[in-house]
Amino acid sequence: MKRAGSILLVAGISALFALRAPALAVPQDEVIPLIEMESVRLADALRQMARKARLNVILDPRLSTTPFNEMTVSIRWEDVTARDALMALLKNYDLMLVEVPSRTILKEEN
């Protein structure tokens, strides 16, 4: 499906995960045996894949408008990293990831 112009998915690697990573978090480069989605809204699928890839994302507001808000994702991937799955999903919908390296972290004083 081709469209004029690409929508941006803005992301920054979340350093907060490094501070207090949940016990069940998937390391960024870990291969996930199976990723399966059936009729998941595109924005939700992007958020899920970004979360698995340990990225803190801000979705472009245009993803909440037509035609994107009507799109659903049905996929099945085996033996891929979360980041690779996210990148494939973005490519499938002519979207892109824009990483913002600078960030401000608020944390507890020692």
Read off the pLDDT of residues 57-105 as tens digits, 9 standing for 90 and up: 889 999 899 999 999 999 999 999 999 999 999 999 999 988 877 766 6
- The residue type of 41 is R
For residue 105, what pLDDT is reported? 62
28 — pLDDT class (breaks 50, 70, 90): low
Whether this model's pTM surpasses 0.85:
no
Name 106's Cβ contacts closer than 8 Å, sequence gap at least 6.
none
- Domain residue limits, the chain: 7-15+30-99
The tokens for 15 are 């350093």
Average per-residue pLDDT for the chain:
78
Residues β-bridged to residue 76: 36
Cα 13 vs. chain centroid, distance in angstroms? 11
**Exposed / middle / buried, residue 42 (Cβ in 10 Å: 0-12, 13-18, 19+):** buried
